[in-house]
Structure 1
Amino acid sequence: MPDHSTLSSLLLHSRDLALRHDAHPFSQTIRPGEIVGLAGLDGHGQERFLEIMAGLKKPAQGTICLGGPNAEIRISDFRMAVANGIAYLPRDRRATGIFPMQSVLDNFAISTVGRDARFGLISAASRLRRYQSYRDRLSISAPRPDAAITTLSGGNQQKVLLARALALEPRLLLLNDPTRGVDVATRHVLYDVFRGLAAEGMALVVLSSEIEEILLLCHRVLVFRDHGLTAEMTGAAMNTESVISAMFGRAA
């Protein structure tokens, strides 16, 4: 777990952010090297907060900015978020993640085609080398790169989508229920990858429908209720009883 007192630079800052017009605004910071969990009952704002950080939705008020106070970049849309080092892994990989008619390799490389260009042409060798490096890091089990992505298990499809996000070389990785529908072995591979990324200085924000997962992975947790931030917990205060109590608007 990183020492927050030594994390040198502010990565992302939400200032006076309101998720809806009738919700209380809040401010939050995300720093390099930390894993922040988002919890709450379904539909209470945590997913909307994640999507606002990704540039996919607009807040009712307030701003999302990257960088320090003297060099801020305001995130206004998804394209700007990606261009400035924010990657987003969606919740429903089948509906909004994979391209089912494409190969494993094409699904991996579709967001970073320009990185494989040589003299205006796509270098198949460069693209394959990039895929193989992430395949090895994430332990992707695929028969071959040109196999249809639908031939892979759900867990391996999720790993391909994560590889696609990491290929963008983000500073901030936003994960929307990243272990949903994957087997136990894949979960633990992903947990190790997430911890390794944080140790390298990447910031991660993890929305999970499982409280135990957030407590296992995250350095702090933000709990949402009625589209507002109702609690922030770290250290010993992060426990199942406290998170559930905050989700239901009760004192622990």
Structure 2
Amino acid sequence: MADPVLTVSDMSLRPGAVPLSTTLRPGEILGLAGLDGHGQDMFLRRLAGLERTGGTVELGGNAIASFRDAERNAVVYVPRDRRSTGIFPGLSILDNFAIATPGRDRRGPLISARARRARYEGWKERLKIVAPSPEAPITALSGGNQQKVLLARALARDPRVLLLNDPTRGVDVATRHVLYDLFAELAAGGMALVILSSEIEEILVLCHRVLVFREHALAAEMKGEAMRTESVIAAMFGRAA
């Protein structure tokens, strides 16, 4: 079995809550479930260095204590609300894609427009982004295609760990299945993914293991045949399955 890529030790999500510890291995898809406001969102954001909690998060012996730490260690976060915290509505599709990785398009002292566009076109094909000219505003795209552009931006950073906050929220069925296939492909290639989803069935379809949160603590951890809808719901409400 591969060594953990990410290690969480004694994380306390709020004062008085029971600390939790877990690991994440290369090629694993870890699901996060729970009623809204019970800590799973804070846990995911802490992995991204966006929250302060007790305990530690480490990747390869390096502490992830801030968003800058996460960036340096190839831990990449895709937020839930793409309109308010994901896209840059005043910019083009191409600018939204390339804004986090300008160095990839540098040729000498200058940014190559040709290299930038070629990179975008590669991801457009891989993620099946349906879009007009790359120079069109990103607001011209459907919600599902905006989400694909955000994922392309994240994946262009070559993450070791990809953190996804409700990644299929508000997208159509066709886009949902494109994303499911993509996540499975990324995991098969060795990337570790953590997916918070508001849909239990989605977690059961996608993930190898699920952490269920209740009252800012870990209520249950399930994998394999133990991952059943009724078991997840029972843990969310503090009941035995």
Pairwise CA RMSD = 0.6
Match of 1:44, SS state, is: coil
Q: Is 1:49 equivalent to 2:38 in the alignment?
A: no
CA distance in 2, matches of 1:22, 1:227: 10
Q: Which amino acid aligns with 1:36?
A: L
Q: Is 1:28 equivalent to 2:28 in the alignment?
A: no
Q: Is 1:97 equivalent to 2:91 in the alignment?
A: no
Of 77-86 and 153-162, deviating more is 77-86
Q: Return the offset for 1:164.
A: 0.3
CA distance in 2, matches of 1:145, 1:247: 43
Q: What is the TM-score normalised by the length of structure 2?
A: 0.99
CA distance in 1, matches of 2:74, 2:3: 15
Gapped regions of structure 1 (runs ≥ 5): 1-5
Residues 228-251 of structure 1 deviation map (CA, whole Å, 9 limit, x = unaligned): 011000011100000000000000
Residues 167-195 of structure 1 deviation map (CA, whole Å, 9 limit, x = unaligned): 00000000000000000000000000000
What does residue 3 of structure 1 align with? none
Q: Return the offset for 1:109.
A: 0.3
What does residue 56 of structure 2 align with? 63
Q: What is the TM-score normalised by the length of structure 1?
A: 0.95
Superposition map of 1:68-83 within 5 A: 72-83=61-72
Q: Is 1:12 equivalent to 2:1 in the alignment?
A: no
Q: Which amino acid aligns with 2:226?
A: A
Moved over 2 A (4+): none
Q: Is 1:164 equivalent to 2:153 in the alignment?
A: yes
Q: Return the offset for 1:79.
A: 1.4
Match of 1:161, SS state, is: helix
CA distance in 2, matches of 1:82, 1:195: 23
Q: Return the offset for 1:100.
A: 0.4
Q: Which amino acid aligns with 2:180?
A: Y
Match of 1:21, SS state, is: coil
Q: Which amino acid aligns with 1:109?
A: A
CA distance in 2, matches of 1:207, 1:161: 16
Q: Which amino acid aligns with 1:52?
A: R
Q: Return the offset for 1:141.
A: 0.5
Q: Which amino acid aligns with 1:189?
A: V
CA distance in 2, matches of 1:251, 1:103: 50
Q: Return the offset for 1:96.
A: 0.1
CA distance in 2, matches of 1:245, 1:181: 26
Q: Which amino acid aligns with 1:64?
A: V
Residues 135-186 of structure 1 deviation map (CA, whole Å, 9 limit, x = unaligned): 1110001111101000000000000000000000000000000000000000
What does residue 85 of structure 1 align with? 74
Q: Return the offset for 1:9.
A: 2.0
What does residue 172 of structure 2 align with? 183
